[in-house]
Amino acid sequence: MRKSEIRRLVDAAKAVCSRAYAPYSGFRVGAAVLTSGGDIYTGCNIENASYSMTMCAERAAMFNAVTNGHHDIIAIAVYTDTAAPIPPCGACRQVIHELGRGATVIMACPSERIDIKREDDLLPNGFTEDNLGKTVP
């Protein structure tokens, strides 16, 4: 990925981070996904008093892209207001693996430090449709 694409994606994730609804943890996260056509879709984390119903920013952004007809996610940026970049949680890694196979995962924070990994480095041997004995249409 070009530096300009990375910056554009991180800026989108940072902007949406401020919209996070995190009254319980105070842990705000913004995410932005890039499709192969250059479209960007964003999402932020949305907490709920019954924690299990919380939605992570990464999944919100990916589901936003899919809702808008995109199944071609090539990159995702995750922005957290922390001292160091934070990787996606396990649930988000699985969804990235499903919807963005081989995608670039960009993790950023206010210090301007950016960590970049491939999706399969974060979730090696992830669960796929092959494990179900099915193919996705």
Per residue in 55-83, pLDDT tens? 999 999 999 999 999 999 999 999 999 99
Residue at 137 is within a domain: no
- For the chain, what is the total number of helices (H) and then of strands (E)? 5, 5
Helix axes 57-67, 90-99, angle to 10 degrees: 20
Distance, CA of 98 to CA of 107 (rounded, Å) = 19
Per residue in 29-64, pLDDT tens? 999 999 999 999 999 999 999 988 999 999 999 999
Tell me how many domains the chain contains.
Answer: 1
Residue at 36 is within a domain: yes
Residue-number span of the structural domain to which 12 is assigned: 3-132
Q: Give catalytic status of residue 112 as yes or no.
A: no
pTM over 0.75: yes
Among the listed residues 47, 58, 98, 119, the single catalytic one is: 58
pLDDT tier at 133, thresholds 50, 70, 90: confident
Residue at 7 is within a domain: yes
pLDDT of residue 51: 85
Helix (H, G, I), strand (E, B) or coil at 43: strand
Residue at 43 is within a domain: yes
pLDDT of residue 136: 64
Per residue in 114-127, pLDDT tens? 999 999 999 998 88
Residue at 22 is within a domain: yes
Q: How many CA atoms lie within 13 A of 102 on its CB side?
A: 6
Residue at 23 is within a domain: yes
- CATH number, domain of 117, equals 3.40.140.10
> 75 and 1 in contact (C-beta within 8 Å)?
yes
What are the residues facing 70 on neighbouring strands?
A: none
Residue at 19 is within a domain: yes
**What is the average per-residue pLDDT within 16-21?**
97
